[in-house]
Amino acid sequence: MLKVRSKKMMEERKEEFMEIFKRFHQYPELSFKEFETTKYIKTELEKLGIEILDYGLETGVIGLLKGKCEGPCIGLRADIDALPVLEQASCDYRSKNVGVMHACGHDSHASSLLCAAHILSALRDEICGSVKFLFQPAEEINMGAKLLVKQGCLENPHVDAIFGMHNSPEVPAGSVAVKNGPLMAAVDRINITIKGKGGHGGVPQRNVDPIVAAAAVIQSLQTIVSRNVSPLDSCVVSVCNIKAGEGTTNNVTPDEVKMYGTVRSYKKDVEKMLETRIKEIVSNVSAAYGCVGETEYIYELAVTDNCEQMYQIALAAVKAIGVDAFDPIPSTGGEDFSEYTEYGIHGFMYWLGTRNEEKDCVYSWHSPKFKFDPECIPIGAGTYAMSVFEAINALK
């Protein structure tokens, strides 16, 4: 009966849910500047009789829905920030904030969660436990989840399990990706400095050229993936930014070169090995060219890893609302949802399928032409809602 009622609400309120999505899409705001979005969410949750909890956040909303009896507390998280992108998508409800766009689909996450709140509030007498709604700011800059954890948003009451969702233009619309194991990669940053001795480019023998050393370092870093990592594992080491010299000067060897890059992996032992090898290569290759090489290795995000227990719960939830469960290929993109599981809470991240060639929903995240299919919002809402019931049954 519960499954039937949930599915019925998904169908009957489809148009209303789609309009909620369009409202989010038209008023995007950047990370930690989601003031109007925050105000809107608070107002809508209060209309549903959901308590707003105060954790000292300037943006973002934490809501609590108590069921008819005591039981596990299930967290549902959605990110709410947008990107500094000028929209070029083919839709008639474009962003009204010029130069700001939900180009990663956080509007679909926020609206799916808000619509799930509609479903769950209507079914609160069926909930033996509670639901904590986490509308999180600043995912795009990898700082929102860290802030929520620091502010204690997973406590009072303590969250026993948490679910998150991200759209995917690679997954067919009408389905939900349910992955057992790593779904999104750990994200690390490398800042490399190679110091030499500058001088006139026409007399290189008098200089210690850090540019030549930097070129050798870049080439050598690629051997980590091909020679230090098992062919059965996956990782990425990319140098994406190089700075040396001033302006367009063409005849002066600089004193130093700075390089910035990203590292992606799925296993902690691989991640640790990557740090060690990168530092060794930068230091030793630079020394071979008479330079000094230094590496600052920054752990930004842990891997988003779905454990077996949560996978079974998630799979049951998706099947319960009558949607196809899609087994996806993991992404080397990162997600700060992993901060919640690093805190020690069991978590699961879904991908909400949105690929639809007929509606031009084919562009990748962060593209100015990115477009989400609004008809997928009831599926996202139903998935969130049914996750609560399945998790409470499994954990009580």
Q: pLDDT tens digits, residue range 316-348?
A: 999 999 999 999 999 999 999 999 999 999 999
Residue 19 pLDDT exceeds 90: yes
What is the average pLDDT value for the chain, to the nearest integer?
97
Same-domain pairing of 159 and 27: yes
Same-domain pairing of 74 and 108: yes
Is there a contact between 73 and 105 (Cβ–Cβ < 8 Å)?
Answer: no
Is the model's pTM score more than 0.75? yes
Quote the CA–CA distance of 76 and 113 in Å, as a whole number. Answer: 7
Task: Give me the mean pLDDT over the 246-255 stretch.
Answer: 95
Q: What is the pLDDT of residue 29?
A: 98
Which CATH number is 296's domain given? 3.30.70.360
Residue 66 pLDDT exceeds 80: yes
Same-domain pairing of 133 and 85: yes
Residue 294 pLDDT exceeds 90: yes
Task: Give me the mean pLDDT over the 121-134 stretch.
Answer: 97
Last residue of a domain, one of 301, 325, 340: 301
Residue 3 pLDDT exceeds 80: no
Same-domain pairing of 150 and 66: yes
In 3-state terms, what secondary structure has residue 370?
coil
Same-domain pairing of 172 and 203: no
Confidence of residue 26 (pLDDT cuts 50, 70, 90): very high
Q: What is the pLDDT of residue 4?
A: 83
Distance of alpha carbon 43 from its chain centroid, rounded?
26
Same-domain pairing of 288 and 309: no
Distance of alpha carbon 261 from its chain centroid, rounded?
19
Same-domain pairing of 119 and 202: no
Last residue of a domain, one of 258, 285, 301: 301
62-101 core/surface letters (b: 16 or more CB in 10 A; e: else): bbbbbbeeebbbbbbbbbbbbbebebebebeeebeeeebb
Residue 1 pLDDT exceeds 80: no
Last residue of a domain, one of 301, 336, 370: 301
The candidate with the shortest Cα–Cα distance to 76, out of 201, 196, 162, 177, is: 162
Task: Give, in degrees to the nearest 5, the angle at Cα 47 between 43 and 52.
Answer: 60
Residue 2 pLDDT exceeds 80: no
Which CATH number is 114's domain given? 3.40.630.10
Residue 260 pLDDT exceeds 90: yes
Same-domain pairing of 169 and 80: yes
Same-domain pairing of 92 and 230: no
Same-domain pairing of 236 and 106: no
Which residue range forms the structural domain that includes residue 126?
Answer: 2-183+303-395
Q: What is the pLDDT of residue 226?
A: 95
Task: Give me the mean pLDDT over the 379-390 stretch.
Answer: 98
Q: What is the pLDDT of residue 396?
A: 80
Same-domain pairing of 93 and 134: yes
Confidence of residue 200 (pLDDT cuts 50, 70, 90): very high
Task: Give me the mean pLDDT over the 362-382 stretch.
Answer: 97
Alpha helix ranges (H) inside the chain:
2-12, 14-26, 35-47, 106-122, 144-150, 210-223, 268-288, 308-320, 338-342, 377-395
Q: Domain total for the chain?
A: 2
Same-domain pairing of 254 and 307: no
